[in-house]
Structure 1
Amino acid sequence: MTVTTDCPEVSVVAAPVERVRPRHARRSGALALPLSMVVSFLAASAAPVPLWAHYGAVWHGGALVTTAAFATYAGAVLVGLLVLGEVSNHLGRVPVLLAALALQTTALLLFAGADGYPPIFVGRVLQGLAAGAALGTLGALMIEAHRERGTLASAAAPGVGTGTGSLLAALLVAYLPWPTHLVYLVLVGVFTVQAVALLRIGESSPRRPGLRRSLRPTVAVPGRVRPAFVAVAPVLFAVWALPGFFSSLGPVLIRRLAHSPSVLLGGLGLFLLATVATVATVVLRDLTAARTMLVGVLTLLVGLVGLVGGLLLGLPVVYLVATVPAGAGFGSALQGAMRSVVSLAAPDERPGLLSAAYLVSYAGLGLPAVLAGVLVSLGLPVDDVATGYLAAVAGLVLLGYVSLRRATR
């Protein structure tokens, strides 16, 4: 989930027939392409999730390899956000988005032809860099196309893409031929269509000098914001650890609980988490940051208790049902945490503050998953590791919420 600031205006070059269309229709058309690209980018990142168990069985990879592959993607997204996030302001949006589509396509072709883990790791790096470079630009395009609808779409699209990508991949793998190829080739076709649409629109954003300077990431927390940021950092770390859990250990756990090899089960957890998080973000968008944070913490704790209960009792239904409040808590606690600190900074201070928030968030997305993979590879039962993982998330969320309440008072 990204936040964009200080983005130049962009206009869509329309054919003569478009000039007679109502203004809201032109805006809706301009909104459709970036919205579809955000969804497809996040869907591509989630597409390998249902296949981790298959790759592990065929290539003899354990939990450490799976979690490392996921953390590689998270690290690459962070690099893309911090280093390449402002490049489109200087080179133009269409060239940057076309390059991101090319990287995504290359990654998917690597996945489709992979005969071992090295192409998977290379592809995950390419996917992460592409997403980091493109998502901020796409968010800005959506907001400029229609401020109200675009803002709503930029908040909802990442979760929709992640959830649908995981579920679509699971369905294609489970019920159609070419299980390790078809989902990637379908996405290649989608990206090809989007590239053609971008070329038809053309570049209309003015280029600005300062490309080299934009490649140096600015990570800075203003002094008056620092107490609140330090307080909220455990919440950011913990809530992002949750999708990391469902993207790495989650598919293995649900299949063990259900005593089923179904690939569809492997993608269901991430689908529920991401989809419900999106709904919560949209429904609670008008609440204050403090109330959003409170709702998020409470629902997240309910979900975490249910997830642990499902694991301890060996009940897959309880585990899946608990994913719903966990997803609602993830979406709302994240929004409440971000709004609590961003609102304290001046506009020119927000890019550096957001970069600091990205560092904490993507560390939470990747590092706990890798640590869990190490523990499982050392022989600890995966259920015990998962229980400890979820308990640590609950503890960090509570610590951060209490600290933030004290800091903001």
Structure 2
Amino acid sequence: MPESRRLPRTAAFWSVAVLLVLMLAASGVPSPLYRVYQEQFGFGSGVLTAVFGIYAFALLASLLVVGGLSDHLGRRPVLVAAFLLEAAAMALFLFADGVGWLLAARVVQGLATGALTSTLGASLLDLQHPDRPLGAFLNSASPGLGLSIGAVAAGLLVQFVPSPTDWVFGVLTVVFLLAALGTYLLPESSPRLPGALASLRPQVHVPAAHRRAFLVALPLLVAFWAVGGLYLSLGPSLLADVFGIDNHLAGGLLILAMQGNGVVGSLALRTSPPERAMLIGALTFTAGVAATLVALFTTSAVLLFVASVASGFGFGAGFLGAVATITAGVAPGYRAGLLSSIFVVGYLAFSIPAIVAGTAVQGFGLTRTTEVYGAVVVLLALLAVAGLLRARRTTGSLAPVERPGSVAQLPG
């Protein structure tokens, strides 16, 4: 298709934003359905977290191998292939009749989501208007918005519609096939750097000028995503087994309380300096997780939802600040690779702690496991706060600094 017939830059930017939210919504759809699958296929918490975790590991593998591929091949070819893979995953869910099918579907979905997360996120940075740099905001707000939409929509269908899996995954299969076709309307937004084959070597690469900000934000990224993983894997089970609320919609609303308010946090601090947003987000998140521990001790469902709102707000604000700080000034040809590194950390924290927690539940119980989990997360968040305050006190800013004779944005 001639470039003159592609979407204009602004329309392409918002189209990519919609596609990113849609893809992330699909990744959140299975969470409220896990309990349905448990009833249908007869498996316990250990298998449930394995189904959850294998998705995250496949996603990680995709980020590590093809996370930066669109910096070399261009954004469009990677998007088309990844959307077709996402459609295949939805079809596997549609025809699933056992745990093996669920595992296969989650592996394929993880591979597609990893490629789409880095490529769509980099496209937003490419296409954003210089006077309205919304790329970092949308990259940080989209996970919460997408996961909330997917979880709540699936929860509603499970609660009120017969054969909800047929409806959900049948529609999504068609939607992602159309998305693959629609990708041809997007303009190519990235220069093609040499080294496509070399980029397939699994790696996490952070350009030298961005490493200090990355390391300071690292404990916070781990804390944020670890709590997100706990909510999406065991949140509905926690609500049912500890608080006595065995309702599929309530499980989706708990995820909404946390993930949805991530969007509110991002919106509220989108005009703040990134490091200030990161600090406010970290402190609010810490207070929310601490309140969650109190809710478990008192078995107060109301306090659990309030704590989830606070944790989600802090997640959104802090993740926005972290992404904006780490990616400040990154050159176009390295955007997908840097975003991929951020999400590699996120999804490692999203998966491994949740899998460990699912295993620990068998021996220690859901309440005790969640209490220990929350305490570790609080310590990580406070460590990040201390690191950020120390960095600001010593140098005043984490923003990349160009040194004489070097290019700050390029890998060292």
Q: TM-score, normalised by structure 1?
A: 0.85
CA–CA distance in structure 1, aligned partners of residues 289 and 121 of structure 2:
31
2:64 counterpart residue number? 82
Deviates more, 1:307-316 or 1:244-253: 307-316
The change in CA–CA distance for 1:211 and 1:392 in structure 2 (over 3 A counts) is: same
2:178 counterpart residue number? 193
Show the 5 A alignment for 1:78-227: 78-147=60-129, 148=132, 151=135, 152-199=137-184, 209-220=194-205
Gaps of 5+ in 1: 1-9, 19-25
What is the DSSP-based 3-state SS (H/G/I as helix, E as strand, rest coil) of the residue aligned with 2:96?
Answer: coil
Does the 8 Å CA contact 1:12/1:204 hold for their aligned counterparts?
no
Using the aligned pairs only, state the percent identity.
Answer: 38
CA–CA distance in structure 2, aligned partners of residues 30 and 163 of structure 1:
24
Among 217, 234, 247, the residue aligned to 2:232? 247
1:306 and 2:291 equivalent? yes
1:295 and 2:280 equivalent? yes
The change in CA–CA distance for 1:50 and 1:282 in structure 2 (over 3 A counts) is: same
1:387 counterpart residue number? 371
User: For 1:311-334, what per-residue CA distance to the aligned partner results, in whole angstroms no more than 9, with x for missing partners?
Assistant: 222221221121111001112222
Cα distance, 1:262 vs structure 2: 1.5
Does the 8 Å CA contact 2:289/2:311 hold for their aligned counterparts?
yes
1:37 counterpart residue number? 19
2:406 counterpart residue number? none
User: For 1:101-132, what per-residue CA distance to the aligned partner results, in whole angstroms no more than 9, with x for missing partners?
Assistant: 11111111111211211111121121121111
What is the DSSP-based 3-state SS (H/G/I as helix, E as strand, rest coil) of the residue aligned with 1:187?
Answer: helix
Gaps of 5+ in 2: 395-412
Look up the equivalent residue of 1:78 and give its one-letter code.
L
Deviates more, 1:360-369 or 1:344-353: 344-353
What is the DSSP-based 3-state SS (H/G/I as helix, E as strand, rest coil) of the residue aligned with 1:180?
Answer: helix
Among 5, 8, 14, the residue aligned to 2:5? 14
1:72 counterpart residue number? 54
CA–CA distance in structure 2, aligned partners of residues 143 and 341 of structure 1:
13
Does the 8 Å CA contact 1:40/1:187 hold for their aligned counterparts?
no
What is the DSSP-based 3-state SS (H/G/I as helix, E as strand, rest coil) of the residue aligned with 1:181?
Answer: helix
Q: TM-score, normalised by structure 2?
A: 0.84
CA–CA distance in structure 2, aligned partners of residues 307 and 29 of structure 1:
41
CA RMSD of aligned residues (A): 3.0
1:404 and 2:395 equivalent? no
User: For 1:350-406, what per-residue CA distance to the aligned partner results, in whole angstroms no more than 9, with x for missing partners?
Assistant: 8776555444322211111011011112x3221111121111111111122213322
Does the 8 Å CA contact 1:302/1:325 hold for their aligned counterparts?
yes
CA–CA distance in structure 1, aligned partners of residues 107 and 283 of structure 2:
35
Cα distance, 1:245 vs structure 2: 0.8
Does the 8 Å CA contact 2:141/2:266 hold for their aligned counterparts?
yes
The change in CA–CA distance for 1:236 and 1:11 in structure 2 (over 3 A counts) is: farther
1:371 and 2:356 equivalent? yes
Among 14, 26, 29, the residue aligned to 1:47? 29
Deviates more, 1:142-151 or 1:115-124: 142-151
CA–CA distance in structure 2, aligned partners of residues 93 and 348 of structure 1:
11
Cα distance, 1:140 vs structure 2: 3.6
Does the 8 Å CA contact 1:92/1:206 hold for their aligned counterparts?
yes
Look up the equivalent residue of 2:371 and give its one-letter code.
T
| Matched pairs, number | 390
User: For 1:211-235, what per-residue CA distance to the aligned partner results, in whole angstroms no more than 9, with x for missing partners?
Assistant: 2022124435677876665443222
Look up the equivalent residue of 2:36 and give its one-letter code.
H
